[in-house]
């Protein structure tokens, strides 16, 4: 599966389904579980058949031995009926659960891939695809098993009815095909409605995610009313989409039920007429009536096949469109030989000095330059150790250059866990990021920062991100406006300490304090 992540052009919808259903030996388990559910349905259909046999061969002739014999057979059928469902359902939980897990892993691996997707997805859409759509696509396993079992039940009932009466058996078979074809045609609009519903849910999730992520800024700007207005509009669109999908689904189910009831009523009337005419026995009449009641549920389920697959096809298309999105960065060549020179851009050696400043005039320009130096876009004129970065690839580039985005996340946990993993904090680097004051104030680096760093102020969050970047391994550190939330005194302290560190650091900034501390200042 993971090799396909590197080749999104090879991903097809059927490939996504194959990952969900067949990976890690799930295919045989799905086959066994499906067989178990089919056996369960066959046993359930056999119950009215055996009751009819008991009436004709034991009750009517008054044969006690035959009565005990067929009641014993009925007990065995009930035992198989119960055990087959229990074991098959347990197997299906494993197939479905691991299939959904693999689809979510695929989704997250694609969004976190160093080569980056061409169309960057918003958090709300990622959440919707990774939860709702993977849930529905993984549910294909249940659809296969349950629908196969339903068709097995209809087939078993048809064979029994053919033995009782050929016209009845043919009627059941023709009716099942007609119901399935009719409801499949009625289900086609459901796929479009399902796509629209999922898109509206993703849009509402996106607005909510953005609001929560920037809650402090929203409060600072006094923009609560505007955010409420935006979420209300997105939520209303989601509500309208959900109601439209629910109404269409209910109408579809109502039509499905009506068709199956009418059809089975005709079947029961036909069987009654045959019994009155003496063409079938009383036990066979009981069998036909019992099978008719059993088949009502089965045909209802047959009628929902179209709606079931319509929603899953819509989610499969959304999931496939997400994971098959092409990469924006080249893969690079593992054979590319790196020289001894450092990071160069537009002919300027940015790693020659300990602290180099790239002077920009605005935050927008800073983001653009940082995207280039972080190799988050395939830009020309950027080389690393004598090799064009497009030939190196983003993974090897990241091993040499640390370039976190300006708006990197602070995660739930402690100060320590947000900076390093599995190693000790460096006192010099903590001082260079001015985070030592925060640790002294809190008394320990293991103090919790709250969900998403809610306990931190804006300046403290920026110092945590700076400390994380400085602790990361790499020859060169590229910092995108690392002091915008700091006061001038703290910023001056950070500038002086960055200059004292014995490693190449590039700051992309418009700050005069930082630029004055640099050994070299360049302007793009």
State which H helix or E strand residue 482 sits in. Answer: none
Please tell me the predicted confidence (pLDDT) of residue 171: 73
* Cβ atoms of residues 13 and 316 within 8 Å: yes
The arithmetic mean of pLDDT across residues 65-85, rounded, is 91
Question: Which tokens hold the place of 53?
Answer: 């046999």
Q: What is the rounded average pLDDT for all residues in the chain?
A: 82
* Cβ atoms of residues 302 and 176 within 8 Å: yes
Please tell me the predicted confidence (pLDDT) of residue 514: 95
Altogether, the residues listed in the chain come to a count of 524
196 pLDDT tier (thresholds 50, 70, 90): low
Give dist(CA 73, CA 77) in Å, integer.
6
Phi-psi region of 379 (alpha: psi -120 to 50; beta: other; left: phi over 0): beta
β-pairing, 476-480 vs 348-349, is unpaired
Query: In the predicted model, is pLDDT for residue 426 greater than 70?
Result: yes
Please report the DSSP string for 147-181 in residue order: HHHHHHHHHHHHHHHHHH-HHHHHHHHHHHHHHHH
* Cβ atoms of residues 197 and 245 within 8 Å: yes
| Reported pTM | 0.68
Phi-psi region of 393 (alpha: psi -120 to 50; beta: other; left: phi over 0): left
Closest CA to 240 of 188, 192, 193, 205: 193
Closest CA to 171 of 269, 80, 243, 263: 263
User: What value, to the nearest 5°, has the Cα angle with vertex 445 and ends 443 and 447?
Assistant: 75
Give dist(CA 524, CA 518) in Å, integer.
16
Give dist(CA 478, CA 315) in Å, integer.
40
The arithmetic mean of pLDDT across residues 172-182, rounded, is 69
β-pairing, 355-359 vs 505-509, is parallel
Please write down the HEC assignment for all residues of 268-317. Answer: HHHHHHHHHCCCCCHHHHHHHHHHHHHHHHHHHHHHCHHHHHHHHHHHHH
- Provide the sign of the torsion angle of the four alpha carbons 121, 127, 132, 135, taken in this order: positive
Please tell me the predicted confidence (pLDDT) of residue 505: 94
* Cβ atoms of residues 231 and 204 within 8 Å: yes
The arithmetic mean of pLDDT across residues 492-521, rounded, is 93
Would you call 183 exposed, middle or buried from its count of C-beta atoms within 10 A (0-12, 13-18, 19+)? Answer: buried
State which H helix or E strand residue 387 sits in. Answer: strand 387-388
pLDDT, one tens digit per residue, over 12-35 is: 788 888 888 888 889 999 999 999
Query: In the predicted model, is pLDDT for residue 168 greater than 90?
Result: no
The arithmetic mean of pLDDT across residues 263-282, rounded, is 78
Closest CA to 310 of 412, 191, 226, 138: 191
Give dist(CA 410, CA 419) in Å, integer.
9
Give dist(CA 271, CA 165) in Å, integer.
9
Q: When comparing pLDDT for 299 and 98, which is higher?
A: 98
β-pairing, 348-349 vs 343-345, is antiparallel
Please tell me the predicted confidence (pLDDT) of residue 180: 64
Query: In the predicted model, is pLDDT for residue 218 greater than 60?
Result: no
pLDDT, one tens digit per residue, over 305-321 is: 766 777 788 888 888 88
Q: Alpha helices of 304-381 — where are they, by DSSP H?
A: 305-323, 363-373
Closest CA to 403 of 507, 501, 500, 498: 507
Give dist(CA 301, CA 503) in Å, integer.
68
Q: When comparing pLDDT for 511 and 307, which is higher?
A: 511
Query: In the predicted model, is pLDDT for residue 424 greater than 70?
Result: yes
């Amino acid at each position: 599966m993971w090799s396909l992540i590197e080749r999104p052009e090879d991903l097809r919808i059927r490939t996504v389904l194959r990952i969900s259903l067949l990976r890690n030996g799930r295919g045989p388990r799905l086959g066994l579980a499906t067989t178990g559910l089919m056996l369960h349905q066959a046993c359930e259909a056999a119950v009215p058949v055996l009751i009819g046999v008991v009436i004709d061969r034991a009750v009517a002739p008054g044969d006690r031995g035959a009565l005990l014999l067929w009641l014993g057979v009925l007990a065995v059928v009930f035992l198989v009926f119960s055990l087959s469902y229990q074991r098959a359902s347990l197997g299906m939980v494993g197939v479905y659960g691991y299939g959904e897990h693999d689809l979510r892993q695929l989704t997250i691996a694609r969004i976190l891939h160093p080569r980056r997707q061409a169309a960057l997805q918003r958090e709300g859409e990622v959440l919707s695809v990774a939860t709702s759509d993977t849930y529905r696509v993984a549910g294909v396993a249940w659809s296969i098993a349950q629908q196969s079992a339903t068709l097995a039940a209809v087939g078993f009932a048809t064979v029994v009815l053919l033995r009782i009466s050929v016209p009845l058996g043919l009627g059941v078979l023709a009716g099942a095909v007609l119901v399935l074809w009719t409801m499949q045609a009625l289900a086609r609009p459901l796929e479009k409605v399902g796509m629209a519903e999922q898109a509206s849910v993703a849009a509402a999730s996106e607005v909510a995610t953005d609001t929560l992520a920037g809650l402090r800024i929203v409060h600072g700007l006094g923009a609560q009313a505007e955010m409420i207005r935006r979420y209300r509009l997105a939520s209303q669109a989601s509500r309208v989409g959900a109601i439209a999908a629910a109404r269409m689904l209910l109408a579809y189910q109502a039509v499905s039920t009506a068709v199956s009831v009418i059809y089975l009523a005709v079947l029961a009337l036909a069987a009654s007429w045959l019994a009155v005419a003496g063409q079938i026995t009383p036990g066979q009449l009981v069998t036909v009536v019992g099978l008719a009641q059993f088949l009502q549920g089965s045909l209802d389920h047959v009628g929902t096949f179209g709606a079931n697959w319509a929603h899953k096809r819509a989610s499969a298309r959304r999931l496939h469109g997400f994971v098959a999105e092409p990469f924006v960065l080249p893969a690079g060549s593992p054979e590319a030989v790196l020289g001894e020179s450092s990071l160069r851009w537009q002919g300027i050696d940015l790693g020659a000095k300990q602290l180099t400043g790239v002077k920009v005039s605005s935050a927008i320009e800073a983001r653009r330059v940082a995207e280039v130096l972080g190799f988050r876009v395939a830009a020309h004129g950027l080389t690393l150790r004598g090799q064009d970065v497009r030939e190196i690839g983003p993974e090897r580039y990241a091993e040499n250059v640390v370039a976190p985005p300006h708006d990197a996340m602070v995660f739930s946990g402690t100060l320590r866990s947000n900076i390093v993993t599995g190693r000790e904090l460096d006192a010099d680097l903590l001082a260079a990021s001015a985070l030592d004051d925060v640790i002294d104030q809190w008394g320990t680096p293991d103090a919790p920062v709250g969900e998403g760093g809610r306990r931190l102020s804006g300046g403290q969050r920026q110092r945590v991100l700076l400390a994380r970047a400085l602790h990361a391994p790499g020859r060169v550190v590229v910092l995108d406006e690392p002091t915008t939330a700091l006061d001038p005194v703290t910023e001056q302290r950070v500038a002086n300490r960055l200059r004292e560190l014995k490693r190449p650091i590039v700051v992309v900034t418009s700050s005069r304090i930082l630029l004055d501390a640099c050994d070299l200042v360049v302007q793009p």
